[in-house]
Structure 1
Amino acid sequence: MDTVFLVLLLIAAVVVANIVYWKFNKIPIAFIQIAAGLVLSLFPIYKHFELEPEIFLLVIISVLMFNDGQHTSLGRLTHQFGTTFSLSVELAIISILVVGFVTHLIIPSMPLALAFALGAIITPTDAVAVSSITSNMLVPTNVMGTLENESLFNDASGIVALNLAIAAAVTGKFSLWNGIGNFMYVFFGGIIVGAILGALIVTIRLKLINMHVDTPSVMVPFTLLTPFVVYLIAEAIGVSGILAVVMTGLMHGIQQNRLRLTSSRLQIVMTSTWQIVSSILNGIVFVLLGLSLPSVIINLHKHDSGSVTILFGIGILLYAIMTIMRYLWTNWDFARIRAWDKKEKHANSIVMAYSGVHGTITLAMAFSLSLTLNGQPFPFRNDIIFVAAVVILTSLLVPTLVLPLLLPHQETKYTDAELAKAKGQMVDDAILSLQSRHGGSINTSQVVTILDGQRNIEGRADKAKLDIIFDNCFELEKQTIESMLQSGDISELNADLYMRVARRTIMQYQQSNWQRISLFFRFNIVERASFSKKARKRRKVFRQMANHSHATKAELIKRNRQMWQSMTKVEKQPYDKIISYLNQSLINDSDNNREITIVRRAYDERHRRLTNDFNSHEEFENNQNELLIEAFQQENTYIQSKITSKEFSTDLGGALYEQISTDQLVYLQSLNEE
């Protein structure tokens, strides 16, 4: 139970960090998550917190690698295979060897096998971290694609090399040829096993789709379990579970078009689920770094296995060495990146060098080191974790400061205010079109209410304005009912019954107790005192009729139904006048959109309750669906006309088109599920 609570706190820390990042998005989110971990480290409950290293490989790394694989373009990967292999395997192996020898030279007491393990840990790059740093910059497309492909496979190279280094540390022996043979078996064996399992799993998914068993409750858990199953099977065979997971993800990416034959609803749920899972797992790793860093530093001082200052300097040095190697590797064409001339080639090489950001996988691999080795505490474990942390932080900080000086700033194609304004104009056009074609029917009003929900209206409703609009609507109802009563259109009993409903509506939407008390006094004391004898007699007769001792239950139900059926006729005229008043107010006073929308929804909902009981529910839904489709078509037409006239940019129009598509799917599905 304690472990569950601790993990929930880690997730909560990730959520808080994401909220802070939303307000301060100039700071890379990894730094904020590390800070959240540092805050958690102050809690006594985390004093002796240890997460099993195996959990990192199975629960975190395998899931993240599968997600990366299924979002990788196989066409681009195949086209850049030579460059990808050169960076993710050849450069990775050379970097591991160089880092290992340099570390062993500086710290002779560290066994060479563990020095190579450190090299394997800090070699993998993180394209996701690069994307977060360069979100406001224009990174060359070919460079970004190369970084994404590289990070997919050098993670696996690092993990395989780490396992070989740990095995050498355990046995105390290392044979070059045996090492190469094991590397080839584990590396390519993982790819083959992943391809076979991936093809099998995709086939099962397609069969489920063809059998119409493609609901989110089945397909989402099925997909989430995939990396765990593949990883465990591959590891049981003795090949790389991580590479198997990557290959399975790639197989899902290859078959993505066929897998999209499933419902749009499932695709939205699936995409959102993976985004959330990936974000949380990435965040947890950096929170754990902040959480563990103080204890790592304390342990370093306790065991005197190396000065913190020396280890810090080693981390900076190793980062500098790997950065220089990345520049030389691409600039000397060991890994070719398309460029028009030497100047562009030089610029791409510099960006590639500084984009060697080390993130989640590096940290997860460091934490995955076993707590013991040959029955003894793992030697230099804290040293390796600390150096890895220094490399990660340096690789995040340096490009954050340097890349903005090298890359052009990404221009904002449209602001949030422009998008909100354009969306409001689009909604207004659709509403006016519906009202001109279909009048103020209940179906039209309901669709207008739904369309109003598309607006991006900031802030809270102004309570004073809300009270004024509700009061105006109530007075309008009262005047309309009195006019209908004087002309003989309705009976006094129906007029009295309607006003009771009107008063209840006003009281229901008053938020403060003082306002409710005030309205109760007004409706039940002031107005009741002004009732005529005839009105009081009418109420008495009504109560006697409802409570008549000789009336059977069936008779009372019949009377009640007849009474409310007559109410639907009474309610139509005041409702039409209220909607007309609100529509006119919406056109004349756009500053009160939010308040008018709230009032309109209140009266629309009441109107629907009063009329829905006596109309065909199926026919009602069908009419609404037809009107919604018509409204969305009108919105698309409006956007197209604005783009043609160049009042809207193509990017702004594209953003509106995307939101309409999402809204159309969500609204129509919600209506069909009612």
Structure 2
Amino acid sequence: MDTVFLVLLLIAAVVAANVISWEFKKIPVAFIQIAVGLIFSFFPIYKHFELEPEIFLLVIISVLMFNDGQNTSLSRLTHQFGTTFSLAVELAIISILIVGFVTHLIIPSMPLALAFALGAIITPTDAVAVSSITNNMLVPTNVMGTLENESLFNDASGIVALNLAIAAAITGKFSLLNGIGNFFYVFFGGIILGAILGAFIVAIRLRLINMHVDAPSVIVPFTLLTPFAVYLIAEAVGVSGILAVVVTGLIHGIQQNRLRLTSSRLQIVMTSTWSIFSSILNGIVFVLLGLSLPSVIINLRKHDASSVYILVGVGILLYIIMTVMRYFWTNWDFARIRAWDKHEKHANSIVMAYSGVHRTITLAMAFSLPLTLNGQPFPYRNDIIFIATVVILTSLLVPTLILPLLLPQQVSKYSEAELADAKTKMVDNAIVSLQTRHGDSISISQVVNILDGQRTVEGHIDKSKLTIVFDNCFELEQQTIEDMLRNKEISSLNADLYMRVAKRTILQYQQSNFQRLNLFLKFNLVDRLSLSSKARKRRKLFHNMKHHQHVNRAEMIERNRKLWQQMAVVEKKPYEKIVSYLNQSLVNDSSSHREINIARKAYDERHRRLTANFASHEEFEQNQNELLIEAFQQENTYIQTKVSSKEFTPELGGALYEQISTDQLVYLQSINEE
């Protein structure tokens, strides 16, 4: 139970860090997650918290690698296979060897096998981290594609090499020839097994789809369990579980077009689930780093007060060595990246060098080191974790500072303000078109509510504007009821009862306690003083009718039902007036659309409650769906007209088309499910 609670707190820490990162977008989210972890480390509950190393490989690394695999383009991977193999295998092995020997020279007491283990840990790169750093920059497409392919397989190379190094540390023996042979057996064995298992699992998924067993409650858990099952099977037969998971993910990516035969809702749920799942796992790793960093530093200081500074220097030196190696490896054509001339080739090599960012996998591998070795505490475990942390932070900080100086800024074809303004105009045009063709009705109002969600909402609710909107609605209701009473369309009793409902509505949606108190006094004191004797008699009669003791329950229910049925009839005319006023206000005053939308939803909800038992729900839903489809068509026509007249750029039009397509897909899917 304690472990579950601690894990839930870790997830909460990730969420908190992600919220903070929205306010400090220039700071990599990893730094914020580490900082939150540091804060959590002072909580007594985390004083002796440790996660078993095997859990990192099974629960975190395997899942992340599977997700990377299924999001990788196989055509690009096969086209760049030579470059990918050179970077992910050849450069990775050479980097591990050089880093291992350099570390052993600087720290002679560290066994060579553990130095190689350190090299295996800090070699893998993370293309996702590069994307987060360069999201506002123009990175050459061929460079970014190369980085993504490299990070997919050098993770596996590092993990295989790490396992071999730990095995050598345990046995105390290492043969270079046997080690290389074992490396290729584990490496390619994982690839072959992953391809077999991937094809088998995809076949099962397709079979379930063909049998129409494609509900998210079946397919999503089935897919989430896939990396765990593949990893455990591969490790059981002695090949790389991580590579098997990667290849299984690739097979899923290959079959993605066939898997899209599933429902649109499933695709949306699947994509969202994997995005959230991988984001949380990435965040947990860095929160755990922040949690463990104080204890790691304390243990290092107990060993040697100066060791912390030495390890910081070692981490920075190793990062420099790997960065220089990456530059020369691509510049000397050991890994070819397409370039038109030597200048572009040099520029690509520099970007490749600085883009060797180390993040989640490096840290997860460091934490996956066993706690014990031959029955004794694992030697240099804290040192290796600390050096890996220095390499990660350095590899994040350096490109954050340097890449903006090397790469041009990405200039959007449209600003966020232009997109928000275009959305508003698009929605307003659709609303006006519907009102012109069909007038004002409850169906139109519901469609307007749905369309209003397409707008980009910015800022906060203006309480004074909201009060004005509700006051205007109440005055319109009061005037309409008085006219109906004067024209003898309704009785005095129904008019009195309706105005009580209207007062309750405006009282409920006021934003401040002071406003509510004012209205309460107005409705309950001032109005009572101004009531005529006839009105008092009507109210007393209604009160007695509701609460008289000798009236049995069945009669009371029937009378209440008839009263509310009368309210539904009475409410029709003032409601139509309010809907017309609010819809017109929405078009004329776009600056108050948030406040108008709140008022419209309040009156729509009241109308639904009053008419729920007396209207045809099926007929209403069908009418609403037809109107919404018509609105989507009008929006598409509007965008096409604006792009043709060059009022909207093609890029702005494309963004609007994308939103309409997504909204249409989600809404139509909800109709099918109902």
Same fold, judged at TM 0.5 (above):
yes
Contact 2:586 2:592 in 1 (8 A): yes
Q: CA deviation at 1:562?
A: 3.8
Distance 1:260 1:305, change over 3 A: farther
Equivalences for residues 209-358 of structure 1 within 5 A: 209-304=209-304, 307-358=307-358
1:393 equivalent in structure 2? 393
Tell which deviates more after alignment, 324-333 or 37-46: 37-46
Give the partner amino acid of 1:584: Q
1:137 equivalent in structure 2? 137
Q: CA deviation at 1:139?
A: 0.6
Per-residue CA deviations over 1:250-282 (Å, capped at 9, x if unaligned) read 111011111111111111111111111111111
Contact 2:264 2:669 in 1 (8 A): no
Partner SS for 1:313 = helix
Per-residue CA deviations over 1:479-530 (Å, capped at 9, x if unaligned) read 2111122222222232223222222222222244443343333333332333
Q: CA deviation at 1:131?
A: 0.9
For the residues of structure 1 that align with 2:541 and 2:393, how far apart are their CA atoms?
82
Give the partner amino acid of 2:204: I
2:190 equivalent in structure 1? 190
2:573 equivalent in structure 1? 573
Give structure 2 stretches of 5+ with no counterpart: none
Tell which deviates more after alignment, 328-337 or 569-578: 569-578
1:24 equivalent in structure 2? 24
Per-residue CA deviations over 1:158-215 (Å, capped at 9, x if unaligned) read 1111111111111111222321221122111111111111111111111222222222
1:444 equivalent in structure 2? 444
For the residues of structure 2 that align with 1:304 and 1:522, how far apart are their CA atoms?
76
For the residues of structure 2 that align with 1:279 and 1:639, how far apart are their CA atoms?
35
Say whether 1:613 aligns with 2:613. yes
Distance 1:484 1:339, change over 3 A: same
2:53 equivalent in structure 1? 53
For the residues of structure 2 that align with 1:147 and 1:305, how far apart are their CA atoms?
39
For the residues of structure 2 that align with 1:550 and 1:374, how far apart are their CA atoms?
88
Contact 2:441 2:579 in 1 (8 A): no
For the residues of structure 1 that align with 2:242 and 2:587, how far apart are their CA atoms?
60
Equivalences for residues 240-639 of structure 1 within 5 A: 240-304=240-304, 307-543=307-543, 556-639=556-639
1:106 equivalent in structure 2? 106
2:76 equivalent in structure 1? 76
Count of residue pairs brought into register by the alignment: 674
Tell which deviates more after alignment, 33-42 or 335-344: 33-42
2:644 equivalent in structure 1? 644
Tell which deviates more after alignment, 581-590 or 434-443: 581-590
Distance 1:409 1:300, change over 3 A: same
Q: CA deviation at 1:48?
A: 2.5
Per-residue CA deviations over 1:609-628 (Å, capped at 9, x if unaligned) read 22332121111111111111
Distance 1:79 1:583, change over 3 A: same
Contact 1:36 1:287 in 2 (8 A): yes
2:96 equivalent in structure 1? 96
Per-residue CA deviations over 1:55-95 (Å, capped at 9, x if unaligned) read 11111110110010000001110111111111111111111
Distance 1:669 1:506, change over 3 A: farther
For the residues of structure 1 that align with 2:281 and 2:666, how far apart are their CA atoms?
28
Partner SS for 1:474 = helix
Per-residue CA deviations over 1:122-155 (Å, capped at 9, x if unaligned) read 1111111111111111110001000100010111
Q: CA deviation at 1:559?
A: 4.3
Tell which deviates more after alignment, 543-552 or 363-372: 543-552
For the residues of structure 1 that align with 2:319 and 2:523, how far apart are their CA atoms?
76
2:148 equivalent in structure 1? 148
Distance 1:561 1:235, change over 3 A: same
Contact 1:70 1:249 in 2 (8 A): yes
For the residues of structure 1 that align with 2:291 and 2:519, how far apart are their CA atoms?
55
For the residues of structure 2 that align with 1:225 and 1:534, how far apart are their CA atoms?
73
Give the partner amino acid of 1:481: I
Contact 1:159 1:365 in 2 (8 A): yes
For the residues of structure 1 that align with 2:550 and 2:335, how far apart are their CA atoms?
96
Distance 1:518 1:65, change over 3 A: same
Give the partner amino acid of 1:283: G
For the residues of structure 2 that align with 1:586 and 1:592, how far apart are their CA atoms?
7
Q: CA deviation at 1:584?
A: 3.0
Distance 1:380 1:543, change over 3 A: closer
For the residues of structure 2 that align with 1:605 and 1:75, how far apart are their CA atoms?
52
For the residues of structure 2 that align with 1:612 and 1:639, how far apart are their CA atoms?
37
For the residues of structure 2 that align with 1:43 and 1:144, how far apart are their CA atoms?
41
Distance 1:227 1:36, change over 3 A: same
Tell which deviates more after alignment, 511-520 or 482-491: 511-520
TM-score normalised by length of structure 2: 0.95
Contact 1:69 1:246 in 2 (8 A): yes
1:35 equivalent in structure 2? 35
Give structure 1 stretches of 5+ with no counterpart: none
Q: CA deviation at 1:665?
A: 3.6
Tell which deviates more after alignment, 548-557 or 616-625: 548-557
Give the partner amino acid of 1:274: W
For the residues of structure 2 that align with 1:10 and 1:546, how far apart are their CA atoms?
55
Tell which deviates more after alignment, 550-559 or 178-187: 550-559
Tell which deviates more after alignment, 429-438 or 584-593: 584-593
For the residues of structure 2 that align with 1:286 and 1:173, how far apart are their CA atoms?
34
For the residues of structure 2 that align with 1:319 and 1:542, how far apart are their CA atoms?
83
TM-score normalised by length of structure 1: 0.95
Per-residue CA deviations over 1:441-468 (Å, capped at 9, x if unaligned) read 1111111122223222323322222222
Per-residue CA deviations over 1:628-660 (Å, capped at 9, x if unaligned) read 111111112111211111212222222222222
Contact 2:315 2:391 in 1 (8 A): yes
Give the partner amino acid of 1:495: A
